[in-house]
Chain A
Amino acid sequence: MSKPPVNLNLFTIQFPITALSSISHRISGVILFFLTFPFISLVLVAIQSQEGFDYASVLMAHFIMKSALTLYVAAIVYHFFSGLRHLAMDFGYWETLKASRYSAMIVYLLFLVMTLIFSFLIW
């Protein structure tokens, strides 16, 4: 007998905001994982010498680098607030569906506002 099918097409399944909040936390975490090392390296280069600083400045003036930094900062902001929310839930706060929905919405709102402010500073 052949293997029975499984209904698991994620595009047909509705995800509540609390689930989107969790997957966003993962995605932002992956971005942090890949971008932290390059940006820290660049900071180290910039503080080594005048030439290093000039090099980093020129590099950071490029729109690709500015975009990458915006993405990185956005990921930090989201991961930070979402992480606090997760910690609060681990300690037993916001355990009802209603509270959890509201806290997820507030995290998204804070993320949008903070990312806009930082984007404004970067660009």
Chain B
Amino acid sequence: MDAIASKSISSINLSIYRYDPDSGKKPYMQDLSIDIPEGQDIMVLDLLNMAKEQDPSISFRRSCGEGVCGSDGMNINGKNGLGCITPLSEALKGNKIVLRPLPGLPVIKDLIVDMKQFVDQYKKIKPYLINDEEKPEREIKQTVEEREKLDGLYECIMCGCCSTACPSFWWNPDKFLGPAALLQAHRFISDSRDTATEERLDQLEDAFSVFKCHGIMNCVSVCPKGLNPTKAINEIKKKLVKRAL
């Protein structure tokens, strides 16, 4: 904040990952110098929009611009986050900022990655309520306490920052479900209205799906919504162990 507020720096050195599948060239880092309005803080996404004015070929996803849609997940100076809610003052190192695509996923173009592996893992956990009981006339009721169990789980926006910060997911993106999918798995396991708890746990009982998590907390440290997938994963592990005893 100080660096920007002091008005001593008005020019930001942006280094951005570039890859164009049609060019036949390997990915490279492009350096740009961007003048930012003095004395005020802007978001990384704003900086990217300014960069795009200089070079319109720069590609990135974005939509809501306020940390709700989860489109602009990227690696900002080494740490995953959403461009739209990461202030420049927080991300800058000196007056330099390096933007790369989310790690581990195939790059489609520049900062745009192919989220298929991520979404496939999400599909596996059946991210919807399963209830085979006779349906009541209106909604299936929950007590306040039962509803509270979903806090810290339902808020996930599926931006992919956590799973792409996780080494276990980098090395086993097809077998380890990854923090985002597991947080959702726990969200439905914890839901008092869901009747498929046992089946859900059965599906997670192998050596990879959950147990490849070694609790290194990269996911927690990058989550833009402040959620704790490691804790959710530990809860699943505890349920699996308890069930086996």
Judge whether A41 is part of the interface by a CB distance below 8 angstroms.
no
Contact A22 B214 (CB under 8 A): yes
Given contacts A95-B230, A96-B228, A97-B228, contact A4 B78 (CB under 8 A): no
By a CB distance below 8 angstroms, the chain B residues around A3 are 106
Chain A residues lying within 8 Å of B237, measured Cβ to Cβ, are: 90
For chain B, residues 35 to 89, give those with C-beta under 8 angstroms from any C-beta of chain A.
75, 77-79
* Contact stretch, chosen from A8-16, A50-58, A59-67: A8-16
* Cα distance, A57 to B103, chains bound together (Å): 51
* Chain A residues within an 8 Å CB radius of B234: 89-90, 92, 95
Which residues 157-206 of B have a CB within 8 angstroms of A?
165, 167, 170
Q: Which residues of A contact B121 (CB under 8 A)?
A: none
With A13-B78, A14-B79 given, is the CB distance from A6 to B215 under 8 Å?
Answer: no
B238 at the interface (CB under 8 A from A): yes
| Chain B residues in 8 Å Cβ range of A8 | 103-104, 170
Contacts of A12 in B (CB 8 A): 75, 78, 98, 100
A7 at interface, CB cutoff 8 A: yes
| Interfacial chain B residues near A90, Cβ < 8 Å | 215, 234, 237
Which chain A residues have a beta carbon within 8 Å of chain B's beta carbons? 1, 3-8, 12-16, 18-19, 21-22, 86, 89-90, 92, 95-97, 100
- Pick the 5 closest A-B CB pairs, nearest first: A14-B78, A4-B106, A22-B216, A18-B217, A19-B216
